[in-house]
Amino acid sequence: MSSISLTFTVEPRALGVSAGGSTFYFTVLDSRLPEILTVRAFCLNSTRSTTPEKFSATASVDAMTDPAELAHQLSVDQVAFADLPDDPALQDQLVEALDEGTGIVITPPGGETPAGLRDLAQDVLDASELDTVIVRSPDALAAVSHVHSRSSLESAQEHLVAQPDYVVGVREFLGEVGSFDMPWLALAAVAALALLAVVAWTAVSVRSTGLTQ
């Protein structure tokens, strides 16, 4: 996802909020620059958004969600904000909820599809030293990992996306993904012991048969 270096204005009443204490964002819906630019304004503390408006403009595109930059943010405290202002209170709570090898990137609503978020998560994971990266927006999320299986991630994501509280969602996600992963070494040891038992039983049976003949 990229951000357009243009300035737009929005009437606060269109979003049902007051101008004081509200921060407004613009989602790029159509970025076929320089021919056409379509944006929608939204506010994090409002459920409304404006009707998409089209602008004819030539604009430069800045990679505000550059994976390397996000990976750098994650290297500091495992929390990154993409195209959003920092939220110190949320950041502190997320830091406490995350385990050592997991990082989370917070993105604005409506910016990417789940597939797009997964691509971003993979790029950030590849650029970081973390084991697992979660990319979360209010309406979509993705998680990728070097240590957890895809099936365990998909199962855990269902808990995360259903939880509007980001901090609670992260705790539930980590608990679910940790409990889902199969203890392959333990299972392999059990299987090996079972195989040895079968071989031993077969050998004893053959020997007993030979003695009785």
pLDDT digits (tens, 9 = 90+) for 106-122: 988 766 678 888 999 99
- Domain spans in the chain, listed from the N-terminal domain onward: 3-62, 67-180
Neighbour count for residue 5 (Cβ, 10 Å):
10
User: 67-180: what CATH class?
Assistant: alpha beta
Alpha helices in the chain (DSSP H): 67-77, 88-97, 114-127, 150-161, 166-180, 184-212
pLDDT at 17 over 60: no
**pTM for this prediction:** 0.58
* CA neighbor of 169 nearest in space, from 177, 192, 108, 74: 177
